[in-house]
Structure 1
Amino acid sequence: MNWRQIPLGPLQTNCYLYTNGNKECLIIDPGGEAQKLTSIIQQQHLKPLAILLTHAHFDHIGAVDEIRNEWKIPVYVHKNEKDWLTNPSLNGSEYFMAGKIKASEPDHLIKDEGMIEIGNFKLRVFETPGHSPGSVSYYDIQSGIVFSGDALFAGSIGRTDLPGGNHETLLKSIHEKLLTLPEETLVLSGHGPDTTIELEMEGNPFLNGF
C-alpha cells in the first residue's frame, strides 16, 4: 500500500490517498479544493473506492460531495456524527467564517469498532473521541499505519474546545487506543507532518502525566 498526503482547504487539512497495487484508492478526509484533488487522482490514474472520514468537522468534509459524485463512491462516518455533514452548526463551519459548508448525508455509518473491508483494503476502526464525539482512527496492521485524524498530531493533540470536545476523553482515547499500537506505527494526522507512536510516547508534551 502507498499513501500520499495532500493538504487541502482553508486550514490545509491533510487529505490522504491510500492506494493499493491495482491503483485503487481510499480517500481519507477530502477537506476542500475538489478540483485540485480530482486532478491529482486523474493524473495518477487512480480508481477511488470510498471516502473515509475521521470525523465531520468542516475542514475535513469540504470536497466530499464533489468527489463522491465524480466517482459514485460511498462516504463513511461514525454514527455519532451522522447529522454533521448536513448541518453547518454541528460541523463548525457556521462559526469559523468559512461559509456554511455542508454535504449530503453519509452512505455508511460506522457503528462499532472493528474491521472494515473495502476492495482489498482491510482497516481496523478505533473509536477515538475527544476532539469530537465521532472521531475515529483507521489502522492498517499490515502496513503499520494509522490515520489518526485530529486526535494525535506530531508533538500535539487535537483541540477540545469545540462542541462535543472533551480533553480527558481525548487523552483517554490516545492512551488506550493509539499508544497501545506498535511503537514503529506511522501516524498520519489530520494536520501537520507524519510521526510515529514511539516519537509521541517519548516526546509529546501533551501526553506526559496522564
Structure 2
Amino acid sequence: MLQVKIVPVTAFAQNCSIVWDAESKDAILIDAGGEPDKLQAEVEALGLTVKALWLTHGHLDHAGAVGALKKRWNVPVIGPHKEDAFWLDMIQEVSARYGFPIPEKVEVDQWLEGGEQLQLGNEQFEVRFAPGHTPGHVMFYNANYGLLWTGDVLFKGSIGRTDFPRGNHQQLLDSIQRECFSLPDETQFISGHGPISTIGFEKQHNPFVAGQAG
C-alpha cells in the first residue's frame, strides 16, 4: 500500500512528499526543497528507509536539501530532465541571493527524459516531461492510486510562473494540456505549493486553463 506525507519546507512552503510502501517501509522523497534536518526527523519518526530522491525541477525550493540528504543516506538523485542542469548548477548562488542557507551541491545520478517507469515497492510511477515553468520539468504519475505530482506546473486554481530564465508560458500551457489534462478527471495531484486538487476540478475552475481541455 502506497502512503504519502506532505511536509512543507522553506519560507516558500514547498510541499516535499515522503512517499513509501507500507509493507517494506521503503521510501522516496519528491522535491526535498530544504530543511534537511526536519525531513530526516520525519523519515526517522515514520521508520522508513529512503531509497532515492526524486526531483521535478531544479529550483532552489525544490532541491535545496537534496545534496545534504544524498550524502547522509547515500542514495541516488533521480530527475529532473537535463535541461534543468543549469538551475542545479546555480543552486548555491541563488540561495545566497535569497538569503537562504547555502546548500550542498546537487549531483544527479539519473536524468529523466519522460516516459520512464520508476519503481517503489510494487508501485510504478510514470515520468511525464512537462517543460514551461523550467525547461527540464518532469512530473510523476502513479496510475494505480490516481496520483500525480505536478511540481510547479499546475496548482489548485493556478499554474506555474514562467518569468524565470528559460521559462515559456505557451510551453507550460501545452504541457498542462498534454500531460495533466490527458489523465482521468478523478486524478488527484500534489503540487509544489498549496493544497491537493483534482484534474477535473482544474479543467472546470482553474482561471488560467479552464475550458481549454481537449
- The verdict on a shared fold, with TM-score over 0.5 as the criterion, is yes
Residue 93 of structure 1 deviates from its aligned partner by: 3.7
> Whole-Å Cα distance in 1 between the matches of residues 194 and 106 of structure 2?
28
Q: Which residue of 2 aligns with 1:81?
A: 84
Do the aligned partners of 1:85 and 1:106 also contact (CA within 8 Å) in 2?
Answer: no
> Whole-Å Cα distance in 2 between the matches of residues 209 and 122 of structure 1?
31
Question: Structure 1 pair 117/39, CA: closer, same or farther in 2 (3 Å)?
Answer: same
Residue 131 of structure 1 deviates from its aligned partner by: 0.3
> Whole-Å Cα distance in 2 between the matches of residues 82 and 113 of structure 1?
19
Residue 75 of structure 1 deviates from its aligned partner by: 0.3
> Whole-Å Cα distance in 1 between the matches of residues 176 and 94 of structure 2?
23
**In the alignment, does 2:134 pair up with 1:132?**
yes
> Whole-Å Cα distance in 1 between the matches of residues 204 and 137 of structure 2?
24
> Whole-Å Cα distance in 2 between the matches of residues 55 and 29 of structure 1?
8
- 1:153-183 alpha-carbon deviations (Å, 9 max, x no partner): 0000000000011111000000111011011
> Whole-Å Cα distance in 2 between the matches of residues 142 and 41 of structure 1?
24
> Whole-Å Cα distance in 1 between the matches of residues 137 and 21 of structure 2?
25
Residue 67 of structure 1 deviates from its aligned partner by: 1.2
- 1:74-110 alpha-carbon deviations (Å, 9 max, x no partner): 0012111234323238x84465443655523211111
Structure 1 ranges of 4+ moved more than 6 A: none
Cα RMSD after superposing both structures? 1.8
- 1:28-68 alpha-carbon deviations (Å, 9 max, x no partner): 00011111110010011001111000101011111112211
Do the aligned partners of 2:91 and 2:105 also contact (CA within 8 Å) in 1?
Answer: no
Do the aligned partners of 2:203 and 2:211 also contact (CA within 8 Å) in 1?
Answer: no
Q: What secondary structure, in the 3-state scheme, does the structure 2 residue paired with 1:146 have?
A: strand
> Whole-Å Cα distance in 2 between the matches of residues 25 and 124 of structure 1?
17
Question: Structure 1 pair 203/132, CA: closer, same or farther in 2 (3 Å)?
Answer: same
Q: Which segment drifts farther, 27-36 or 106-115?
A: 106-115
> Whole-Å Cα distance in 1 between the matches of residues 63 and 11 of structure 2?
12
Out of 38, 41, 50, the position equivalent to 2:40 is: 38
Q: Which structure 2 residue ranges, 5 or more long, are not aligned?
A: none
TM-score normalised by structure 1 residue count: 0.92
Q: What secondary structure, in the 3-state scheme, does the structure 1 residue paired with 2:107 have?
A: coil
Do the aligned partners of 2:21 and 2:120 also contact (CA within 8 Å) in 1?
Answer: no
Q: Which amino acid aligns with 1:75?
A: V
Question: Structure 1 pair 81/98, CA: closer, same or farther in 2 (3 Å)?
Answer: same
Residue 124 of structure 1 deviates from its aligned partner by: 0.4
Q: What secondary structure, in the 3-state scheme, does the structure 1 residue paired with 2:71 have?
A: helix
Q: Which residue of 2 aligns with 1:4?
A: 5
Q: Which residue of 1 aligns with 2:207?
A: 205
Q: What secondary structure, in the 3-state scheme, does the structure 2 residue paired with 1:110 have?
A: coil
Number of matched residues? 209
**In the alignment, does 2:15 pair up with 1:14?**
yes
> Whole-Å Cα distance in 2 between the matches of residues 92 and 170 of structure 1?
23
Q: Which residue of 2 aligns with 1:115?
A: 117
Do the aligned partners of 1:130 and 1:168 also contact (CA within 8 Å) in 2?
Answer: yes
Q: Which structure 1 residue ranges, 5 or more long, are not aligned?
A: none
